[in-house]
Amino acid sequence: MNRMMKSLASALLVAATLGLTACATGPAVRVDHDPTASFMQYRTWSFYKPIAMEQSGYSSWISERVRADVQKEMESRGYRYQAEGADLLVNFQGVVEDRNAVWSMPRSSVEMFYSYRHRGYVAIPVWYNETQVSTYREGTLTVDLVDGKQNRMVWTGSASSPVGSSKKTPEKRMAEIDLAISSIFTKYPHRAGQ
């Protein structure tokens, strides 16, 4: 019973630590770019057609929110929106996947054995590793910038974070989308014509 309580307490501690870490750090952002691309030539932008998130043929409030956030970020960097023939085309995609978190914690306990040599019980320490697995859902939002003339991706950024409860309000989900897009674009070092 005591061992079970210790295991439960340690599992709750690890879960709480992971939860607080996920909340405090924001999404994990990764970016990559084409080293041969000359970003100085780009001054205008538009959305790629069709948007990857809208492959099913319709838009949603999520894709509309991402569009608005992308527009705000691109215009703040001096890019001018041009519906046709733009220098840069912006595409985006969202994916939610099940992930496993696996960690191992060293444990120790004391086992009692009867020793005929000492004519009594002897306490012997035992060390072992306890492995625990936790399943969670991770959402990834990816933004690609595509050269409009060559139809070639020149920059990509993605933000990933654990997806919390499905009971979140739309306002909280919108705030998470805003944070993901702004986190991605903080890693985009270019401005229009520079």
Mean pLDDT of 31-48: 92
Q: How many CB atoms lie within 10 A of CB 140?
A: 18
Q: What is the pTM of this model?
A: 0.70
26-101+137-186 belongs to which CATH class? alpha beta
Contacts of residue 31, Cβ cutoff 8 Å, sequence gap at least 6 = 155, 156, 157, 158, 184, 187, 188
Higher pLDDT, residue 1 or 29 = 29
Determine the pLDDT at residue 160: 92
The answer to whether the CB of 67 falls within 8 A of the CB of 94 is: no
The residues spanned by each domain of the chain are 26-101+137-186
Nearest to 189 by CA among 160, 155, 161, 159: 155
The answer to whether the CB of 158 falls within 8 A of the CB of 132 is: no
Nearest to 139 by CA among 46, 22, 4: 22
The answer to whether the CB of 163 falls within 8 A of the CB of 96 is: yes
Determine the pLDDT at residue 25: 67
Eight-state DSSP code of residue 79: P
Residue-wise pLDDT tens digits, 152-169: 999 999 999 888 766 778
- Mark 154-166 as b/e (b = at least 16 C-beta within 10 Å): bbbbbbbbbbbee
